Structure 1
Amino acid sequence: MEEQKPPAPEMAKAAPKRRALWIAIAVIVVVVIVVAAALLGGLFAGAKPQAIFFVGYPGEGDKLIPTWWNNRAQWPAAWLYSEGLLDTSFIGRLKTAGVDVTTIEGTAPVPPMSSDYNTSSGLFNAEYQAMFGRAPKLYGPNSYDAMFVLAMAFQKAQTTDTNSSAFKAALRAVSNPPGVAIRPGEWAKALANITAGNDVDYQGASGAINFDQYGEVGSDYEAWSVNASAGINQKLFIPEGTWTTSSVHSATIHASAVPSGPAAAATNLPIGTLFDLTGALKDFGPDQQNGTILAAADVNSAGGITVAGTNYNLQLFHEDDGTNPTTAGSAATKLVTLDSVKALIGATSSGASLAAFAVIAPAGIIEISSSSTSPVFTTSDTTDQFWRTAPSDALQGKAASWYAFTHRGWRTMSILYVDNAYGRGLSSVFAADFRARGGTVLRIVAFPVDPTQVDANSILQTLFTPGAGTAYIPTATWRPTEFVAASR
């Protein structure tokens, strides 16, 4: 009889089916992982900004913007410029380099829309044109105002000690209402009214110079654009709003009567100026210096300043800050120790002003800047020795953020800023306010203040590369490298 073999186990028949099932599951898992990675990469690693907030100066912009323009297909984004880039010469250079300048827009402080301002600016512009043969650039009017209001305070306080409480009270009194309106070029009117004990209110070439408790001024803002001819136009007027500081009107003080009779031979009253004539902000510095020259000429040609019976003419000592803290500190030391200046007007950049202030403060005089806008000065000056006729970037940062988020509708931005007090201050305010409004700041990238150290390709690659750069808010504080010892 033939032997029969037992039947094969059922497990053996099922093995191929199970292997097929596991292979299918593995394929599905791999597909899910790939899809998820693609989605997450698109949402996070590949996130791109709708726009860049660019805080810098023309010197660095000359390298960064043409490089970006030539690679705009790779790095698509709109750009919003800070006021440090609002310069017709710079825009003209970009146009020559092939950039479509009609795509450029930015924000900047702007004088008020008022008949008072129109009158004051008209007087100043006519004088400036007559003396220098052209219209003034940004911050030229602010420098004129700084010099003119200093002269008014000397006359009212009857002292040349700018660090005295009497002088500081006078500086606030002559700049704030109420009082007889004094405009650019009206030194004889100012002298007559101050001598008579009348309240005066300086209405400046750059707008209302109403110094608050921090020695600062408020401002309206504008969004500006560029036409095909590289001309700069106002795109939108942004009135001073919730971000403004409040002005403080000091108690009224009256000057002592000036003795009548023929004036004695004038004694020189030395004032230092410190503006960028050779560095990254050299497009602005010469006009700032010109503003002080014009104001001093207006004062000296109409009677000068009389303090306690002594007649003074303003004598200006000019120095170049080079947008370099070390240079600025050395220049300030020279102005204090060799020229014995009673006050300093400058510097152009906030970093240079910080270095100069490290010399000015212990020297016991005041510094009044026409363009240093970093928010750090507001609270770091505890001795009331730093003043400015340009508004703090605590205002511009919020005005620019409002424009970007509300008017332009951008929700995702990155920030490119010059790594100094100005850049850190303005970018930090913008970033914090933009986020508070519900926007997203992807990356915040710094670049050197020295244009020769700017590697445009590397910086832009970091700015636009997913996952590169940082999204922290830079701290607007003084850095040790921005100080120069008074002994230098």
Structure 2
Amino acid sequence: MLASRGSRRAALSAAACAALLLAGCGSDGDGAAEQATQPAQVRLYGTDGNMQNSFKAEFDQKTGLLKGMKGTTPLTPLSEDFKNRLSTKDPRLSDFLYAAESYDAVAISAIAAQLAGSTDPAQIASQIIGVTTGGERCDSIAACLQLARAGTDLVYRGVSLNRGGFTDVGEPSTASYGTLHFGTDEQLDNGKTEFLGAGDESTASVKKPPAGKRQTKAVMERSGAPLKLGGLLPRTGDLALAYPPMAAAVALAVDEINAAQGVLGEPVVWVDGDDGTNPATAKATVAQHVNAGVHVIIGAGASGISRAVLPDVMAAGLVLFSPSNTDAGLTTIDDQGLYFRTAPSDILQGRALADMILRDGPSRIALIARKDSYGEGLQGNVRAELERTGHGSGQVRLFTYDPPATPDAPPVDFSGGAQEIKQFGADAILVIGFGESARVIEALAEAGVNIQPQ
């Protein structure tokens, strides 16, 4: 299911070295150049954008570089029942990243529309937070829709959303993270996965939503049903490795909604669409959804893509509901109350990553990030956590690279950055990126950085 992208990675510009976010290439906090002894072992870490079984397929030449790589991702323990239901949509699934969040985004949207008694996006938006807070608890799509048809105040507890509800700005108040490990076969070793809870249930919203409407004949006639959901997920582009579990989860949720008599007396309609991990592709898809009469857009995959399309979505008065945006800056973005997400903020993931790295006792840490709101945002959060524990600029260096601009762009060239990291003498390297970050890891190895199994 992973889209083949070959060499379509963007070249690292000459300015990337100058964008170290510190005082110059090859220098410590006071700008003094230094030569450090390359450590015998360099530990490699990743994040939700590349800690997936499908990441191995992104490597063109090198083998063995993922052995022992560790990282974190928003992940809740998934029941065998849920995974088995997903496999009916895609028997080839090897990853479940953001599957739970995708399922819940669709489920919450449908329940909110049913409670609103309308497919009007503004009315749906007014119910979304309330679906996750207060009221009578329901644990399945069918049970929640049954309560919603009676106009009952309810609280949905699904797959990813199983503790606290949404905050006032429409994002999870609590989250679960998985610490993942690549084994000797360069596949995730599920036996080593650990789960860590984060967040605070007390930050969940206490605001009451508008009263739910009972499903009467009059309500259904005025509702504008059927509810149309539009996809804006990364079917192609450098986040395409995350698409299969998200797509399977969306298909499962839509099928289960319709098996439970749909929304407002009609089956929900899914209108597929690709965000391409590219602003231009995503904007074109949003325009198509507007013309198709979509009410709620599920996506985008990457935080930077959601930032790019949000003005278009707001202008059309639609709801944008992402299952995978983690950029902490989206918490305070001006969204006119139309943007929601089931993925947690990277402030929480930054803490989990820093804790994982520090437990291994590194002396020099290099943080490499793709140059966009996701990469630089998470990089900044990790840096802040490291500084809070006493790791200053002499021990931590920040590097960025330009992500692919177009599908046919040349490969990412991180050779200069790799030499800087070798000179710095990093014994821990965090790579924050998507599929294209395979080029970064290969560049590190080619520069002689001693990436060793942990």
TM over 0.5: yes
- How far apart are the structure 2 equivalents of 1:172 and 1:455? 43
Which of 447, 461, 464 is the equivalent residue of 2:422?
464
Residue aligned with 2:301, SS = coil
**CA 1:207–1:237 in structure 2 vs 1: closer, same or farther (change >3 Å)?**
farther
- How far apart are the structure 2 equivalents of 1:316 and 1:192? 21
Aligned-residue Cα RMSD (Å) equals 3.2
Worse-matched range after superposition: 291-300 or 195-204: 195-204
In structure 2, the residue matched to 1:345 is 298
In structure 1, the residue matched to 2:45 is 80
Encode CA deviations 1:284-313: one digit per residue, 9 max, x unaligned: 12332232222111112221111xxxx332
Which of 104, 109, 128 is the equivalent residue of 1:171?
128
**CA 1:452–1:257 in structure 2 vs 1: closer, same or farther (change >3 Å)?**
same
Amino acid at match of 1:88: N
2:168 maps to 1:213: yes
- How far apart are the structure 2 equivalents of 1:380 and 1:432? 21
2:185 maps to 1:229: yes
In structure 1, the residue matched to 2:377 is 425
Query: Which structure has the highest helix share of the two?
Result: 1
Residue aligned with 1:273, SS = strand
- Structure 1 unaligned blocks of 5 or more: 1-40, 51-72, 113-117, 469-488
Residue aligned with 2:383, SS = helix
In structure 2, the residue matched to 1:16 is none
In structure 2, the residue matched to 1:140 is 99
- How far apart are the structure 1 equivalents of 2:198 and 2:287? 39
2:268 maps to 1:314: yes
Amino acid at match of 1:461: Q
The structural deviation recorded for 1:244 is 8.4
Decide whether the 8 Å contact of 2:119 with 2:226 is kept in 1: no
Residue aligned with 1:355, SS = helix
Decide whether the 8 Å contact of 1:393 with 1:426 is kept in 2: yes
Residue aligned with 2:241, SS = coil
Amino acid at match of 1:200: L
Decide whether the 8 Å contact of 1:274 with 1:319 is kept in 2: yes
Q: What aligned pairs does 1:18-417 form with structure 2 within 5 A after superposition? A: 45-47=34-36, 77-91=42-56, 97-111=62-76, 121-135=79-93, 137-164=96-123, 167-183=124-140, 186-187=141-142, 189-208=143-162, 210-217=165-172, 218-233=174-189, 235=192, 237=194, 239-241=196-198, 246-251=203-208, 253-259=210-216, 267-306=225-264, 311-336=265-290, 338-405=291-358, 407-417=359-369
Decide whether the 8 Å contact of 1:275 with 1:286 is kept in 2: no
TM-score (norm 2): 0.76
Decide whether the 8 Å contact of 1:194 with 1:200 is kept in 2: yes
Amino acid at match of 1:237: E
In structure 2, the residue matched to 1:449 is 403
**CA 1:324–1:199 in structure 2 vs 1: closer, same or farther (change >3 Å)?**
same
In structure 2, the residue matched to 1:18 is none
What is the aligned-residue identity percentage? 25
- How far apart are the structure 2 equivalents of 1:320 and 1:452? 22
The structural deviation recorded for 1:233 is 3.2
Residue aligned with 1:409, SS = coil
Encode CA deviations 1:100-140: one digit per residue, 9 max, x unaligned: 5332111112216xxxxx5xx44432221123224453112
- Structure 2 unaligned blocks of 5 or more: 1-29, 427-454
**CA 1:243–1:198 in structure 2 vs 1: closer, same or farther (change >3 Å)?**
closer
Decide whether the 8 Å contact of 1:374 with 1:421 is kept in 2: yes
- How far apart are the structure 2 equivalents of 1:151 and 1:132? 23
Residue aligned with 1:293, SS = helix
Encode CA deviations 1:381-408: one digit per residue, 9 max, x unaligned: 3522211111111110122112222x22
- How far apart are the structure 1 equivalents of 2:216 and 2:37? 70
- How far apart are the structure 1 equivalents of 2:198 and 2:103? 26
Amino acid at match of 2:258: N
Decide whether the 8 Å contact of 2:68 with 2:184 is kept in 1: no
In structure 1, the residue matched to 2:430 is none
**Matched length:** 385
Structure scoring higher RCO (CA < 8 A, sep ≥ 6) equals 2
Residue aligned with 1:97, SS = coil
The structural deviation recorded for 1:222 is 2.7
Residue aligned with 1:240, SS = strand
- How far apart are the structure 2 equivalents of 1:312 and 1:426? 41
Residue aligned with 2:86, SS = helix
Decide whether the 8 Å contact of 1:222 with 1:238 is kept in 2: yes
In structure 2, the residue matched to 1:440 is 392
Residue aligned with 1:216, SS = coil
Residue aligned with 2:122, SS = coil
**CA 1:48–1:334 in structure 2 vs 1: closer, same or farther (change >3 Å)?**
farther
The structural deviation recorded for 1:212 is 0.9
Worse-matched range after superposition: 134-143 or 392-401: 134-143
**CA 1:242–1:439 in structure 2 vs 1: closer, same or farther (change >3 Å)?**
farther
TM-score (norm 1): 0.71
- How far apart are the structure 2 equivalents of 1:79 and 1:260? 60
The structural deviation recorded for 1:182 is 2.3
Encode CA deviations 1:183-209: one digit per residue, 9 max, x unaligned: 2xx42x222222234332222223427
- How far apart are the structure 2 equivalents of 1:196 and 1:340? 27
Amino acid at match of 1:383: Q
- How far apart are the structure 2 equivalents of 1:159 and 1:182? 23
The structural deviation recorded for 1:232 is 1.3
In structure 1, the residue matched to 2:23 is none
- How far apart are the structure 2 equivalents of 1:416 and 1:454? 13
- How far apart are the structure 2 equivalents of 1:386 and 1:271? 14
Encode CA deviations 1:238-257: one digit per residue, 9 max, x unaligned: 53346888222332654222
Amino acid at match of 2:368: L
